[in-house]
Structure 1
Amino acid sequence: MCGIAGWVSFDEDPRRQVPVIERMTASLALRGPDASGVWCGPYAALGHRRLAVLDLEGGVQPMTAGPEGAEVVLSYSGEVYNHDELRTELRRRGHDFRTRSDTEVVLRAYQEWGDALTERLEGMYAFAIWDSERQRLLLVRDRLGVKPLHWARTPGGLVFGSEPKALFAHPAVRPRVDADGLRAAYSLLFSTGPTLWSGVREVEPGGITVLDRGGVTERRYWLLEARPHTDGPEETVEEVRRRLDRAARAQLAADVPRCTLLSGGLDSTVLTALLADELRLREGPEARLRSYAVDYSDQAERFTGDVLRTGHDTPYATEAGAFIGTDHSTVVLDPRALLDPEHRAAVVAARDSPIGVGDMDTSLYLLFGEIARHSTVALSGEAADEVFGGYPWFHSPRALAADTFPWLLVTGDEAAMPLHPDLADTLAIGAFQRDTYRDALAAVPHLDGESPVQHRQREMQHLSLTRWLRQLLHRKDRLSMAQGLEVRVPYCDHRLVEYAFSTPWELQSSDGREKSLLRAVGTGLAPHSVLHRAKNHYPATHHPDYNSGLQDMARDALGAHGGTVRDLVDERAVKPCLDTDPAQLEWGDRLRLERVVDLALWLGHHRPELVL
């Protein structure tokens, strides 16, 4: 896992501006604390920051192949899990290898198959290939968009980077935000392509962006499809088990210490059990996989349920760890530590965005920092809810009947930020959400003859996988990489996603509740209490001292640092949240305050030019 950056210009020679690529690369130092490198040629400059995971001695980047003047140059981030199989095939085709790294496999695969290499890669990745002979830049992103990749046009070409901050280190790209950017951010629709930042785009998940002398082209090499499903109930469960097991086994490979994120929910427990079994097969019956959970020092005494949380995680995580036989640890955080200004600022800087979830972001960042002291790779149960229909909106008559994105019933734009009335009129977020929803539904693939129930559930699953999941993957990538930790997500294996998406809803909900298929797979892998536990979201603190401190931070954001903040925020809507007894502050009101604080931090860190 790493950070990549670079630029191509057909109007100037990057070799005369080496400090530019060095600054761009240095901006991603947290993503790659182990090594740094740059390559410069007549029209292109590529940079790389490395977090060494495979072939620690080899795999140095940017990596080149071919004769001088006609090099193919690669800067690569991520993991290709089938690199051993591809290396074997490429050797049969005459390629020699200098390293054991998956990086070199990607480079040789491009030499052999060109852009068609994307059809053969399995994993999470974002990479750039400069083909010197063809004077052509290729940007590629994995199918589900686990790893980020941003780019922007310049007068003479294009700049790119894992994160927008790398682009802003280039003199041709300024941190500028217009109404379209704020509309995209605060509408909570989680599109890809255009971003919050004016002129900055993401390579689409499953997408390719190409720059040559003819200009820029974008296309998709993978889209989620609906396919006929012919397996019966038992065959379906067995096939899901086979695909998940294959993904878990492949993603355990690393030359550094590994662990899992074990919350005590169904998703992480089933995954951890499969990984622990595989580790014992590889290293012997005494091998123990590390697992981690997060908790707050007051949670056992103060937990209160809300719209997203049904119970205290720690007892379930501890039981699951004992049942599976992991070396389990609970990272216990003091709720007051979540108010530390340095922690909050680090989180906002990592995100490059004012949109987050407050204390849940800060606690995840601190959890990752603690894990990174012992492990370099962590495996997570992210995406199981999207793949297997785990969210309440898959089962709520109100959500199924609603003519909008289902998560907006829980987290609408007024919760994202009570916008200043003048700005709210300009952004017209409600109309934007309605128009975007219609476009999103039009992109959902269907099969002829679907029942109304199947038709609607297909829409819900597609919206969840192609939109809601994107912000969760963004959150996990940014906060983990800011701590030098690689997080892998086996439930995002595209073969598993494709199979589950095409499985009829009656099999997805065969026991009358969420995640029927995964629960069937988990029989024998998880304790009964976890297997039948209700869906629970990432924990939040309930300590009134945190609420009180947050209110103080929001007052400061609107006061001493609030000139621009007050231009964007409806203070009348925020004031009741500031005046509420901290012990009575509800989750939605607290989220409003979190967003005010993060907005002020974001403005202070990036100092964006606002064009509204």
Structure 2
Amino acid sequence: MCGVFGVATARGRKLSLDEQACVAMCDLLAHRGPDASGSMHAGHVALAHRRLTLLDAVGGTQPFRSTGASPRVILAWNGQIYNHLEIRRALAAEGAVFHTRSDTETLATLLSLRGIDGLRALRGMYAIAAWFVDSDELVLARDPLGIVPMFYSEIPVAGGGCELAFASEARAVISHPSFRLEPDFESVASFLEMPRRTFGARTLYRGLSALEAGEVRRYALAGDRLRCMWSGREIPSLAPTSCTLNDAAWLVREAVTESVEAHLAADSPVCTLLSGGIDSTIIASIARASNSNLMTFAAGSDTDAARPDSDLFMARRVAHMLGSDHHEILISGEQFVVAWERLITEGSHPLATPNEVAIALLSNAVRPHAKAALTGEGADELFGGYGAPLEATLAWIDSSSGHDPQSAADFYRTAFGWAPRALVPELFNSETVAKFGNHRGDRDNDPLGELLLDACRDAGDLSSIDAHLAVQRRVNLVNLLERLNLSLMRGSVEGRVPFADVRVLDAAMRA
């Protein structure tokens, strides 16, 4: 995993930031890429990069410039492409020549030869910024499941122009000298109702947007005005099929095993996070078959270490069974409070759940031993693993006479919100209400409601449990993956999620 920062404006203008300023803003992401850095500045486009080296330390330096006679692409991105060798072989058969082992070169060549249509060939996690030099277009893209975040803002600058700033974390974007720092209190109200940093494209800062899962934005830089010429989302929408229970079991087993093996690929050590639950146990057992020196890590409260029903206790048992090199991180109440405050300060956002603290502290313990960690996120949203929410959803399906998107969105809000919507205005103090209003949230400006309604509209037949799993992937999984990414990267560790993989999703839909 790495850190990306960039800024662009129309060709007829000059950026308000010089290269030194861009590098300084990218250095706010140094924890995402402590191993190397690079930058370029072309007057109206600048890209900067912080690198965590996991594959081809020499060949994957960024920003990366495509080679050959094909259209020129300069690339800065964050993530891993797990099928890059397949793509490389296909491009080589068409005459492409490669000079490194890096998936960065594969991606740059693919974009050069195929343009944004090439993104459909990717299997992996990514947030991409690519400048197509000859056509003077800038493309931002995020993987279909939303594993890797990307934030952006179109910022008015002195002289009447506008600059597009984008980065792997919000902090780098809002540090732009011309960004007007102001909370989006409608989103803050939604946060208090259902804690998360993003609601689709909306964030907790007014004027700051998040690239949505599967979204591609294409900006025209030629001329005297920055213009977004196209924006669209690639939504995984595989049609479910039926097969026997035995066939389904083998199909899923093969897909998950292959995915774990693909996610282990790296030049640096890769470990697994282990909770003792079924998801992380499956991943650790497959990884252990490929690596006799597998390291596993677990974290929890220091008061839970000996409790037989705790994650720590169960992880210890699984590690003993697998014979892994197991590490435990015990967190005291005092450590928790200190880390909570530090993460809020460094991340420029409130935390959504307490386990973000545990994951961040865990990453600090992992870093001396491994640069990447496999985790079990994604299994519940693909295979229906949330017991109580699933039962509540099935009850709604059985009892509801109308399975329209608005009714489904209202159900999700009522059933799974952390605070009743009517109570949210009471959580603002009088000073905030006097300055920004009551924010009781009508349907015209309701970030949470819009996210839920859009997810339900895109999910299909809401009398089917498969549609509700699609809603979980859009609403819950993206939030989980974002939290995992930001928390693990505090300690410079890449989180890899074998269940949140398009081929595993395909198997889940066909099983």
TM interval, short-chain normalised: 0.7 to 0.9
Q: Structure 1 stretch 436-445 or stretch 256-265: which is displaced more? A: 436-445
Deviation of the 1:410 alpha carbon: 6.2
Amino acid of the structure 1 residue aligned with 2:144: R
Are 1:244 and 2:256 counterparts? yes
Matched, 1:198 2:242: no
Q: Which runs of 4+ in 1 moved over 6 A?
A: 414-417
Instruction: Tell me the residue number matched to 1:180.
Output: 186
State the partner residue of 1:581: none
Q: Counterpart of 2:403?
A: none
Q: Where does residue 314 of structure 2 map in the other structure? A: 316
Cα shift at 1:66: 4.6
Structure-2 separation of matches of 1:118 and 1:148:
16
1:296 aligns with 2:301: yes
Per the TM alignment, residue 183 of structure 1 is displaced from its structure 2 partner at its CA by: 3.4
Residue identity (%): 28
How many angstroms apart in 1 are the aligned matches of 2:205 and 2:17? Answer: 28
Determine whether 1:405 maps to 2:412: yes
- Cα distance in 2 for partners of 1:314, 1:16 equals 48
Partner of 2:405: none
Cα distance in 1 for residues equivalent to 2:450 and 2:266: 45
Q: Which residue of 1 aligns with 2:463?
A: 455
Aligned partners of 1:475 and 1:173: how far apart in 2? 24
Give CA deviations for 1:269-323 in whole Å, capped at 9, x if unaligned.
01111111133xxxxxxx22111111322215679xxxxxxx3122221221122
What is the one-letter code of the residue matched to 1:171?
A: P
| 1:109 matches 2:110 | yes
C-alpha distance in 2 between matches for 1:302 and 1:228: 41
**TM-aligned CA deviation for residue 383 of structure 1:** 1.2
Residue 232 of structure 1 corresponds to: 244
Q: Give the corresponding residue for 1:3.
A: 3
Query: Which SS does the other structure have where 2:219 is aligned?
Result: strand
Task: Summarize the alignment of residues 593-608 of structure 1 with structure 2, pairs less than 5 Å apart.
Answer: none
Equivalent position SS for 1:455: coil
Equivalent AA in structure 2 for residue 181 of structure 1: S
Cα distance in 2 for residues equivalent to 1:122 and 1:258: 19
In structure 2, the residue corresponding to 1:79 is in which secondary structure? Answer: strand
Point out the more displaced range, 322-331 or 33-42.
322-331
Match in the other structure for 1:54: 55
Q: For residues 259 and 406 of structure 1, do their structure 2 counterparts lie closer, same or farther at Cα, with a shift above 3 Å needed? A: farther
Match of 2:361 in 1: 366
- Alignment of 1:160 with 2:166, yes or no, is yes
**Contact (CA 8 Å) 1:48, 1:61: kept in 2 or not?**
yes
Q: CA deviation at 1:186?
A: 2.9
Following TM superposition, by how much is the alpha carbon of 1:4 offset from its aligned partner in structure 2, in angstroms?
A: 0.4
Matched to 1:373, the amino acid is P
1:140 aligned counterpart, secondary structure: strand
Letter in 1 for 2:235: L
Which sections of structure 2, spanning at least 5 residues, go unmatched? 156-160, 400-407
Structure 1 residues 434 and 138: alpha-carbon distance in aligned structure 2, compared to 1, 3 A threshold: closer
- Cα distance in 1 for residues equivalent to 2:425 and 2:380: 26
Q: Distance in 1 between matches of 2:180 and 2:420?
A: 27
Give the whole-Å Cα distance in 1 for the aligned partners of 2:449 and 2:43: 47
SS of alignment partner, residue 491 of structure 1? coil
**Superposition map of 1:131-530 within 5 A:** 131-154=132-155, 155-188=161-194, 191-213=199-221, 215-220=227-232, 222-279=234-291, 287-300=292-305, 311-340=309-338, 343-358=339-354, 360-391=355-386, 392-396=388-392, 403-405=410-412, 408-409=415-416, 411-412=418-419, 419-420=427-428, 423=433, 426-429=438-441, 432=446, 437-446=452-461, 455-501=463-509, 503=511
Preserved contact between residue 404 and residue 434 of structure 1 (Cα < 8 Å): no
Letter in 2 for 1:236: A
How many Å separate the matches in 2 of 1:111 and 1:315? 51
Partners of 1:186 and 1:502 in 2: how far apart?
A: 37
Which structure is larger by alpha-carbon Rg, 1 or 2? 1
Could you say what secondary structure the match of 1:330 adopts?
strand
- The one-character-per-residue Cα deviations of 1:457-502 (angstroms, maximum 9, x if unpaired) are 2343122110111221111111111110011001100121233245
| Residue deviations 1:160-207 (CA, integer Å, cap 9, x gap) | 111111112322323222333323433427522122211111122111
Displacement after TM superposition at 1:133 (Å): 1.1
SS of corresponding position for 2:326: strand
| TM-score of the superposed pair, with normalisation by structure 1 | 0.73
- Per the normalisation by structure 2, the TM-score is 0.86
8 Å contact from structure 2 (residues 452, 475) kept in 1: no
Residues 110 and 226 of structure 1, relative CA distance in 2, 3 Å threshold = closer
The answer as to whether partners of 2:455 and 2:474 remain within 8 angstroms in 1 is no
Amino acid aligned to 2:245: P
Asked if 2 retains the 8 angstrom alpha-carbon contact of 1:382 and 1:491, the reply is yes
Residue pairs, 1:74-89, within 5 angstroms: 74-89=75-90
